[in-house]
Amino acid sequence: MHAMLHKDEGQVGTLEFPGPDVPYETETGIVMTPFNVTSGLPGQDVELNVSGSETPYLVDVNGLSLYISLGDEVGRSNCVQDCPFTWMPLLASGKLVAGEGVTLAKVGVIVLPNGNRQVTYGGLPLYYYAGDRAPGDINGQGQDGLWFLSPP
């Protein structure tokens, strides 16, 4: 058996290959059939909650911290090129749910150039930080003087 690796050259933030992967053929047959992944799980809901007693901030339903960027504008993400590898957008394909302490009227989405829906709060896009590994981690706070925990 042979391992197959693929580097996605599509737009950042999408799981889309430029064409079908070529099957690996051996003398005994095909090892892998071609496929394309063009979207995430259908109908994935997003719930926002509040964490932190002294300085409250937004978290997802699993308690992972959510950030905003001072480089963004209301209704627009400026996190492009390599940025989404460190600052992953909070995406939604289902309904948006406001937990305790979250104002539902402030929860929204913007549509990214790749068609994904990024969750916003007060119009500002929300992100995860790649350096946060567990609920309660806030390692992205103040990064590059641009990235901060999202206030509720």
60 and 123 part of one domain: yes
Over its C-alpha atoms, the chain yields an Rg (Å, rounded) of: 18
Q: Which domain holds residue 97?
A: 46-149
57 and 115 part of one domain: yes
Quick one: which H or E segment has residue 83? helix 83-86
Number of structural domains found in the chain = 2
Asked if residue 57 lies in contact with residue 150, where contact means CB atoms within 8 angstroms, the answer is yes
Q: How far, in Å, CA of 6 to CA of 92, rounded?
A: 26
* The pLDDT value given to residue 53: 81
Residues recorded for the chain: 152
pLDDT, block means (10 residues), the chain with 152 residues:
45 46 55 45 76 92 96 96 95 92 96 94 98 96 98 96
Asked if residue 95 lies in contact with residue 45, where contact means CB atoms within 8 angstroms, the answer is yes
The pTM (predicted TM-score) of the whole model is 0.72
Around Cβ 148, how many Cβ atoms within 10 Å? 16
